[in-house]
Amino acid sequence: MAFSALLRPALLAAARSPRMERTVTKIPVTRSLVDRFVAGQTEDQAIAATTSILDSGRYITIDHLGEDTTDSAQADATVSHYLTLLSDLATLSQKTASTSPTSVRNVEVSLKLSALGQFLPRDGHKVALENAHKICTAAEEAGAWVTVDAEDHTTTDSTLSIVRELRKDFPSLGTVLQAYLERTEADCRDLSGPGSRIRLCKGAYKEPASVAYQGKEAVDEAYLRCLRILMNGQGYPMVASHDPAMIAAALQQAKTNGRTADEFEIQMLYGIRDAEQLRLVGENKHLRVYLPYGEQWYGYFMRRLAERPANLTFFLRSLMSHS
């Protein structure tokens, strides 16, 4: 409880602090710890990690790290990274046999629209839409899925507007909804129609009480309400959680609603609860690993430390052992 009340908000604030970024990235031990959560900086490194995960029976979603881009050249560079990645992924991508409306794909990429130009001072919304469309087109050619990541609440309206526009050409496009936002139950109902894919997570940004539930109990209850909506719906729920209680609830609700293993999936982050991931695969559950790569790892790394006391403890112990 003390962790949530004090350290988590501080770490989330630090995730967007340039001064803290300069400090943390200069600590010699940081790089080795980042490797636990980030699969390298290049497409080749991401592909190597992806191949290992696919060989284990797990599925993959790959995120080229970066966000809050205000430079059009940087947005273009992000698109280029995704196009190169998808070209490399084409030989690894395959559909599974499925009775669900959406034929399950083992390979996916995840996009942050702010990395594609959403915050550009002129026509940012339009630029992000066009860039995402290019990536979705390449993904279709590669046989891969695409899911649009969620960011802080100030981007939600723009992001979901772009998702609705993209779905006209790419009906299988997935999107992420964050249970800690008070609006999310309504968004679950609105976006989870036939053929839809919704990744439900608790939320990883520092949000004000005016728009988001603050305590763990309230967030857990919101997650379960949203989960029920998705499992009762006509889409393909993607349950993003490491919380044993949430995973157990998802499996029970799937069973109650008569969903087969091909009609939902569990998602976990690269480097977290690896043994549990493999256990679920051994029980014939679809388990997808969220695998990030790239040079802009700082914000992602700090949010992982903020999520669980165990992550922060691991980081601090390593710092002490190298001091």
pLDDT beyond 50 at 97: no
DSSP letter at 261 equals G
Say which of 8, 167, 199, 303 is annotated catalytic: 199
pTM beyond 0.75: yes
How do residues 264-279 score in pLDDT, each as one tens digit?
999 999 988 999 999 9
Say which of 58, 63, 149, 220 is annotated catalytic: 149
Nearest to 111 by CA among 46, 157, 76, 62: 62
pLDDT beyond 50 at 312: yes
Phi and psi dihedrals of 148, rounded to 5? Answer: -90, 120
Using CA atoms, how far residue 67 sits from 64, 115, 278, 299, in Å, is 10, 4, 30, 9
Q: 82-103 b/e with 16+ CB inside 10 Å = b?
A: bbebbeebeebbeeeebebebe
**Residue 269 forms beta bridges with which residues?**
290
Q: Which two tokens stand for residue 52?
A: 């290992």
Residue 20: how many CB atoms within 10 A of its CB?
A: 16
pLDDT band, very low/low/confident/very high, at 70 (cuts 50, 70, 90): confident
| Spatial distance between the Cα atoms of 7 and 193, rounded to a whole number of angstroms | 38
pLDDT beyond 50 at 10: yes
pLDDT beyond 60 at 2: no
The yes-or-no answer on residue 199 being catalytic is yes
